[in-house]
Amino acid sequence: MHNEPPMSRVGALIGSPARALMLTELFDGRALTATELAAVGGVSAATASEHLSLLLTGGLVTREKSGRHNYYRLASAEIANALEQLAVQTANIDPAAQSCRKPRIPIQDARMCYDHIAGHLGVSMADALVKKGALIALDTDYEVTPKGEALFDTLGINTGDLRRSKRVFARQCLDWSERRHHLSGAVGAALANLAFDRGWITRTTTRRVLIVTPVGQREMKTHLGITFNQVK
């Protein structure tokens, strides 16, 4: 069909449970091999290659060869955000998801959402920055105030450079587990990188899940005004 809208092609790509599982596994921004993604999707290596070829052609993932392995990652932060928002909205309209109240799991407390911090931790960080007057929530974005620029500067984040980058500056990203917004875009990514570099957060053996270190507990209270009890 020559007039087929792009949305229908994307729908076909993510309509396969195996491909949806693979895409979800890539939400933390890291690259995985076809073998790893085959295990995630519960399919054979040959079938995984077919699925990944479709995702690659469809522009949802990119591929990079290193040694004998091909590594796949989501094509961009925008793709990651769009897929995560779709996960939020489909959960909202799924009667089974609404009627089934599941206990909280660690991924809801703190996780990576492509290249920025999400979960209760991410929402708490965004809320704290708004409360401090560092961010102002607009329609779909955040604006970094002069007070926020000064705060980020003390942390070593140059917001001027981030404004000049090609990506979205500071976006409100709806959190699928909290149903509120966390901070994404160039500022969100820079804050996540800083948190890793300074040892505020570390990854766990469970993919995407983060934990706040004792150093992070102290530093987040000092710089952001939040405490560990608030993000737990």
Radius of gyration of the chain (CA): 19
Identify the band that residue 96 occupies on the pLDDT scale cut at 50, 70 and 90. low
Mean pLDDT on 77-103 = 65
Tens of pLDDT along 157-208? 999 999 999 889 999 988 878 888 999 999 999 999 999 999 999 999 887 8
Mean pLDDT on 40-67 = 91
What local confidence, expressed as pLDDT, does residue 44 receive? Answer: 93
CA nearest neighbour of 162 among 135, 186, 197: 186
Per-residue DSSP letter, 180? S
What percent of the chain stands above pLDDT 90? 55
CA nearest neighbour of 39 among 66, 21, 17: 21
Contact of 135 with 144, CB cutoff 8 Å? yes
Cα–Cα dist 104/107, whole Å: 8
**Alpha carbon of 168 to those of 18, 79, 118, 140: distances in Å?**
30, 13, 17, 11
Q: What is the CATH number of domain 6-75?
A: 1.10.10.10
Cα–Cα dist 30/34, whole Å: 13
Residue ranges covered by each domain of the chain: 6-75, 80-231
Cα–Cα dist 165/160, whole Å: 9
Identify the band that residue 99 occupies on the pLDDT scale cut at 50, 70 and 90. very low
What local confidence, expressed as pLDDT, does residue 153 receive? Answer: 96
What local confidence, expressed as pLDDT, does residue 11 receive? Answer: 84
